[in-house]
Structure 1
Amino acid sequence: MKSTTRGTLAAVVTGVAAAVASAAPAAAVGTVPVPVPLDGIEKSLNIELPKLGGEIPVPMPGAPEGPRYVEGRLIPERVIPQLPVSGGLPGVGLRAPLPHILGDDFDHVGVHAPASDLRTLAPGLTLDAPLTPPNPEGFGLPEPKLPQAGVLAPVLQTVPGADLVAGPGL
């Protein structure tokens, strides 16, 4: 093997290893922080501005439940299964200064609404054929019946929360 081929192969392996190593911690994080930089405005206007930031959740798809075979039906339940997705609602943090009217000191007021867990299930579909299973009393032939179709409703579960604080200092 030529030295240029070995060098290229080593560079590719190193790049793949670095990509895999950097992707693993990002996938383990449930939210991504989003700071809002207001430092430049504070310095240019020479005033104290609120501190603002947020959190954006990373949605993670789950594994859908497979079809279930039920006795007495020709088509299994959940022809189109519901896809679970877990993530969260975005969070926000705001801390604003409150100046004293008769002094140079500042107090603060803040709102902190952390990202909250969110669990969802996409809509699904269930069907049944217009025939019954083979009937031994009817020479093993299926009998006609009304077809059935149903929509599995989507699900949305979350418990959001927020804190409102006020106090001395910035």
Structure 2
Amino acid sequence: MTGVAATMGAAVATPAVAAGTVPVPVPLDGVENALNVKAPKISGELPVPMPGGPRGPRYVEGRLIPEHVLPQLPVNGGLPGANVHTPLPHVLGDGFDHFGVGAPAADLRTLTPGLSLDTPLTAPKADHFGLPDAKLPQVAVLTPLLKTVPAANLDMGAGA
């Protein structure tokens, strides 16, 4: 029995890990039994952030220091998701309607800030006997990037 339960648990956990989210159920069965009312069904999804490989420095002709001295690090993850499905009792009558909100976990792609700089000297020049010329130093802060497309669904209808 234990082996079958472990196999079933692994089979259930594998799709969540493959999707990059971990399901988080909120057990409200005790409230439903103790108060003798229909409790809402609530669950969530937490993302698992996955760091990527940074783009390394890129050497450019005419510069003494490579571009992107402090590279941007990509981190892919997601926004947390939530599902709420609650019964709404009829004021007059025995039936139930329901109201639901579903906000699935959304992919989130980010890049951390980076830094690019250049020295106040040019590359050595042959016409100056191998000596560099002076120039203005250059410093650039690479802005962070944040891309996502969140979504939500509202559902209302008859039946619990």
TM-score in terms of structure 1 length: 0.83
**Which residue matches 1:70?**
60
**Which residue matches 1:131?**
121
Superposed counterparts of 1:8-157, under 5 Å = 25=14, 28-157=18-147
What are the superposed Cα offsets for residues 84-137 of structure 1, whole Å, 9 maximum, x if unpaired? 011110000000111111211111000000000100000000010111000111
What percent of counterpart residues are identical? 67
Q: Secondary structure at the match of 2:56?
A: coil
Are residue 165 (structure 1) and residue 155 (structure 2) matched? Answer: yes
**Following superposition, which runs of at least 4 residues in structure 1 exceed 2 angstroms of deviation?**
25-29
Q: How many residues align?
A: 149
Q: Matches of 1:89 and 1:153 in 2, distance apart?
A: 21
The one-letter amino acid paired with 2:20 is: G
Q: Which moved more, 1:135-144 or 1:77-86?
A: 135-144
Q: Matches of 1:54 and 1:150 in 2, distance apart?
A: 40
Q: Secondary structure at the match of 1:137?
A: helix
Unaligned runs of 5+ in 2: 1-9
Q: Matches of 1:101 and 1:167 in 2, distance apart?
A: 15
Q: Matches of 1:101 and 1:150 in 2, distance apart?
A: 64
The one-letter amino acid paired with 2:32 is: E
What are the superposed Cα offsets for residues 10-50 of structure 1, whole Å, 9 maximum, x if unpaired? xxxxxxxxxxx9xxx47534100000111111111111111
Change (3 A) 1:27 1:106: closer
Unaligned runs of 5+ in 1: 1-20
Q: Matches of 1:39 and 1:27 in 2, distance apart?
A: 26
TM-score in terms of structure 2 length: 0.88
